[in-house]
Each structure stands twice: as structure tokens, then as C-alpha cells.
Chain A
């Protein structure tokens, strides 16, 4: 545990990717099985301890120093595990600290009732770094700036293998990954890759804008709508059915409705959406389904999941990744035509003769479920990573509104001493006759570090009221907010909610009275239900299956 704690500690302060890799590689080489395997599981997000939840840790802290002091401490530190590790004191009589394997294996066997006593004994025995690492491990949020991909890269490096070779065998393995280390370090045979149900590293697109398009030949490219969901991979083989995120994380547990609906063999690339009847629900609804290890029947009923397919990587035992996009598309369409599958449909191609026509279609498209366009070369093989040239994403331009800063809250983590979460509002007629501001959204990015320091100072200098970590400020700073969509909301006082709002510019030049009104925002409302043609869709003006109606 101590070696693992030192690793996490150094990783958390080391900003450079290569240095992080070296730290992980050194740890993996020097640490014996099974500790290193459990560490790898922790770094790739593969460990879960259902009996050690934040409420338990909060309870420990309150028991130690009382509710009030614990609340003040947590508010200052901004991280529950770190707070507890700092207020706890090492007990020299507690005996030697546990090993990582002891921690993992004990907790996997321990009942919910046994966990608190075990944890307390370990907290007494470890130093504050050890406690921090233990608690980070238990709560499942290491936050040391290491992605699963980076950890896999480090593993691949110690065996001088490409990272994709590790990815391909990864999902056939289980922690603590002894066969993986035997292969990479001892020359044992490569573990079975388990073909179809393994995650195949995704092909990613590069951003592009209108002017850059002119250098490209439009006849070489195919266009699809860029759906506003989550990119997923559906992978099945020999009865194994899995749903992976773009980064290779297994999210099957959160989407049993999709898993159950799989009655085929293959690997498909598509967009995960929430769909009711024939309409795609706003991204918000999909968010309700994410980051859950299990899901309730109510959730399944109210937020039914759906996958819109746009590529096929394997089909019935055949690897199609080296075929050109056009041929894969033919195979995909033919396969889709064989059978109706209610949870799956096909993402249509958007036809166009030249860039101007495509630009016009993109311009007209204001439906909420669409983020822009994807452009894929017809002759592109399916390559892992983000190759330059074959695939592009051409995002919709954001909408803009001038809003007035109303409240600011201190951030957490790296920003725990900065006012970095900003709530802003627009004008409407007030109850007392005059105009008042109604909050329309909250943004915590879009600004540079320098702008953050400026905003933090502005907030401190213009505070009118404090509510715990929140400050109310004078209503005089105008922020230009960029956002990708807007929807009616019953949860917001103003009746509207912005999608993905971020601070585009600080408008010190603009008086607050000239900021936008709620009425202005309502004019931007779009419908939330673009539809696909193969799910009972209809014909429409610019593309079959996509309805766009502007609010009057």
C-alpha cells in the first residue's frame, strides 16, 4: 500500500505525460504480483468497493472532529478523501500498514458491517499519504491525471508492445492480470484476445472549419450528422455481449436494455442516445443513465437507451476494419435491412454535391440532438487513434448570449481557492414592476488561467452576500456565454436550461442593463427530437427523418 501511495502521490504532482509513464512503468516493474495487478486495476478504473461509500467517510470525519469542523475542513480542502486523510492521526500502536493486495482482497470479502472497523484499523496504521491513497482507492476516484489509456500505455511499454496489442487482450483479462504481466515480462504466450467481445480501439476525427474544407475534394467524403449522445462500441462474440465507451471503458452494467436487445455477432460503432417513442431525448436525459454501475427499472422505463449505428468493424467473425468506409457502409446497410431491431437504427448519410450545399444544410440544422456533421473519406480504413486526414468533425457554431454574473462558487480540486463556478442570468420583468435577473445557467470553463484570476479577483472585490462557499456579486459584469443548445426546464427558475454553456468572453465594455433578456433566449429554443428514417421516420425538407421546427 505504501509503494502504491507513493506512486499516486508522485503522479498527482507530476504534470508531464512522459514522466507519469515512467513513474507507472517503474512501479509496475518493481512491484511483485499481485500488488501491481491491483494497482493497474485501480488506475484503469476496474475496482469497485460497494461497501465503502462517501457517506461512510463523512461519518468517520464527523465522529473524529464533529460536524461543524468537518464541514469547514471539507469546504476548504474540496476533496472528501483528502480531508479525512489529513484530519486523521496515525496511531503508532496500530501495527504495520496493509499491502495493496491485502486491502483489495479483504474488502472484496468483507461484509458491509465489517468494513468500518477494518478501515479504521488501516487509517490508524497508515501515514497521511497512505490514508489518502487508500481512501481514493475506496471511493473510486483517483484523479491523479492518469487515464485508463495512459495506464495501458505504461503496461505496454514495459513489455515493448504497442498499446493496441494490450487493448485487444484487455477485456478478456481480469485483475490482478497475472497472464498479462507473464506475457509482457516473462515471455509467456500472449493471452487470448477473445476476438469479438474485446474492445477495438476507436477511430477518432479531427476538428475542421469551413475555410479548411475548400482544400478538400467533396466527392471523396461522406457526411453524417454528428449526434449529441455518447460514442459507443457494441461488441459481441460467442454469447459475450458488451457495450464500451469510446475510451474502452465497459459500460454494459448501466445499459442492460441495450445488452438484452443484442441478438447478433459483431462489433459496431455508434451513438448511444435516449429515445422515447420516435424522439431522441435531450442529452440531459442520457446523462441520467451515465456513470451508474446498476440501473433501476424506473430508469430503464423512463430513459430507454438506443444505439444509432454508423460503422461496422467486425461482422459474423470477419474483421472489416481494413475495408474502405464505403464498403463497410454497404455491409452495414445490408445487415440492417435484414431485420428490424427496435433498440438499433442506422445513422443516415447526408447527401451533398459540394461544400456550399453541405454548409447550408449544417446551417439550417438547429435540432437539439445534433452537434454538427461528421465527414469521412469513402476510402478510409478503420484505423485506431486520431489519424490526420480521413475523418473530420465539423461542429455546429455555438449560440451566444450576453448574461450578467450573479453568483460565484469556489471550485474543487485544483481550483479550490478560486471562484471558478459562475452562475449568470438574463433580464425579465420583475414582480415589482422593474426588471430582474433570472439565473439561466452555470459555467466553469471557457476562460484562460489569466481570465480565471481576473474573475476570481472581480468576485472578491464585488461581493454583496455570502452563502457558505457561494458569493453573490454586484449585478454589473456581463459575460458572453457560448452554448450548444437551449431547452425548456422546470428545474430552473427562468424556465430555460442551456446545454454545455461556457464563458466565451468577458464583456467589461458592455453595461449590464444591455445584456440579453429571457425572451431573447426563448427565441432560440429548438425542438428536441430529430429522427432517423429507419425507425418509422418521415420525409422532410433538407434531410429525410430530421424534423426542425423553430419556436415562433
Chain B
């Protein structure tokens, strides 16, 4: 942005004067300073403890700064497979004899890999293939004999745990759990167990479960197919173009050995942040953290960053998928990462365009022109750690031509680029941003997730509130400027589902 410093200062003053409750963020921050305790273990593992004693329950959130973009070539989906395996227990939970089980698992993996390598030969020897496969299968059966099926989940369930879950994205892998607050130590025991001594138990059966997940979310869903295709078209170099769930052949190719290497590189203390929110004593939590996570190896080890930058796009990219389902339109512009100085302006611009009934697109496309049944947007798709896409997903009303809808969207974007935004519109989305930040402070898991993610992306949980001040500083002129900077045709990808009958 090239507004001069002088003008900018004036504008900030003006905005602060106009904004009714910009003090809320400061008040909230002051209150939370009293409730939040932070510490980093010697090995680099960071904890954020948020006290909230309203009810005797606690939520735990483990954030690992690894996702689809960190995966080695040929192993897409490995971050997600590892996430599934984290529910198999450790060297005590889930096994009747870890020492023996471990030996069999290693042999089983060796057999699988030799089967795999044979299968990749130009002319695989079918006898070798068969014998390797049989060997693998019989070792898999043997390994299974040591397994206590789902013991990890059973222990949590039996102790009243709820919301046991995990998710893997392009940027991150997250693990969630809530427990009655007298069971805090149980979480420390189980969580440290699975991340300090991962077992890779039932690895190959779980890969089939993952394949079913891929079929459900991607292959059997029209929009799932569209998203996968869209990212592959929009990114040529950056790994945001790859599916987090993995390509089918990569799921096949991934072995336990690959997963172990992945674990060693990325599940190191400096790459993990844990949030605990609820009825928790921070002093006790700190002692437990030292006891259970203090000896996690990997002190001083830094996970390798993603080094590839997406090169500038040289022309608009378009594709149509002819399907039996109803039409869908998806448009994406290359945007910025969450630490870019333009992030706040671009995010506010998208809200002015798409968020709420008074937004520009809703009023024009849904209400007035009646072209769209639904119009949704995302700021950083599929992630925000590196520059992602600002995407629009629009469902045309029946009988509305996709071209008509697309051109109507561009009309509104062009209008904004020419200055068609008012101060009222900007103030409104800021008010909503501020109020919704407050609304998000009302539950334990929400707090843990929000504070930890902000710590990871911005370096400090306080940025949950401080970021609101940066939003205050954005002007209407800034919005017009970022619209002209980012919403340009040659940086655009357009993907459509076209109905075969139309």
C-alpha cells in the first residue's frame, strides 16, 4: 500500500474516532492476561493454558505445524495417514506385547516395500509379487494378534472424554479432546504416549480406511472432485496444489518407513503447540507438562520449511467438468499469506463482497438479479501459511447460465475496483469481525484453538485482540487498492461443473 505515512496516520485517527467500541479489544486483552499462562519446555514444546472455571471440564488442543504442503513428493497424504495412526495408542496402550509386536511390524513393512518395489518394475515378476504379498499378509495377521482393538479411544470414552477428533489440512495437523477436569493427567499420559512413542500399528489396514475417506469426500462428491481439480490447476509449483488426502497411487506407495521419517522430521517439540482451556490449574499443568513431555527428543531440531514459491501466473486458467450433477462455479485469485501486510485489507474486502445479507454479492446476485442460489467465499484456500487463493464458490439458480453468473460476479468486482465501496460497508464488516471475536471466547475448545493458532501464525496469542487494531487501520482506499492488485484476470482460475444435459 502506498498511502503516505501522514495520510495514513490521519485516517487511523479518524477511524478510531468513528469506531464505537474499538476499546473492547483492549479490555478483552487485559482480562485474558489474567487467565492465560504460557510456558515453553526446555525441549522447545510450547503450552498455552487458559483458565475458565465455570464448569469442571477441560479441552485439549494439540497443534502440529505440519500439513499437506510439507509432504515429500510421492507421499501425498502421509500427514493425514499419520494423524489416523495417532489413534492406535502407544507402546503400552493398544498392545498386548509391544516388544514382539514391534518386530513383526518392522518385518511386515519390509515385506510390503519389497512387494511395492517389485510392482514398480517395468515387467514385474508375478511369482515374486505373489510371494511378497502373501508374506506381507501373513505378517499383517501376526501383527494383529498383539493388537487391542481401539483401546486408545476406549480409555478416553470410558473416562467421559468427548469431542475426540483430529484434522489434517494443508498447513497443519490438529488433535482435539475434552475431558472432565479431574482427568487432566490422563490426557498427559495418553497424549505424550502417542507422540513420544508412535507405533505405526495397523498401518496398512488404516490406509484402506483413508482410501474410503478419499472416496467419500472427493471421488463421490461433485464439489469434492471440483476442489481437487481446482487446486491442481491453480497451483503449478507450490504444494497447495496437491490434495491433503493424497493421490491414490501415493497412498499405495507410502510405507511405515516413510511415515517414520516424516514423524522424525516434523513431530519435534519446536513444531508442536498445545492449548489447554477450562477448569485447569496452570501450576499443576506445567508440572505435568514437564513430567510427561519434558523428555520428548528433538531439542533444537527445526522442521524444514516449504521453500517453493508459486511463480506469478501468466494467464487465466479455466476448466469445465461435465457431470450429471447440477452446475457449480468456482473462481479463485492468488492472494497473500496471513503475515502479509495486505492480509487484513484483503480479508475485509472479501467480507464486504461476500459476508452477510448486506454484502455486495449477496445483494446483487442472490437478491436483486436472482442468479445465485448460494455464494460462498474463502480467504485463504487451501491455507494461509503461504499465499493461498481468495475463492468464490457460487451455485447458480436453476435455469441461470454459468456464463451469466460469472460475468455478473466480475461486474461487481470491477465496480469495487473503480471505488464502489463505502465507509459504511467497511465499518459494518469491522463491527462484525470484532463482535464475532468476542462470541468466539465463550467455549473452551474455541479458546484453545484460537489462541494456539494465533500464537503459531503471528507469534503471540495476544494477536487475537491486537489484530483487531490492524483491521481498524484499514481504509476504504486500501480495499480498492487490494482489489486492483489481486483481483486481476491473469491471476485467476475458473473451474466449473457443467451439467451434461444443458
**Do A and B assemble together?**
no
Binding site for A on B (CB under 8 A): none
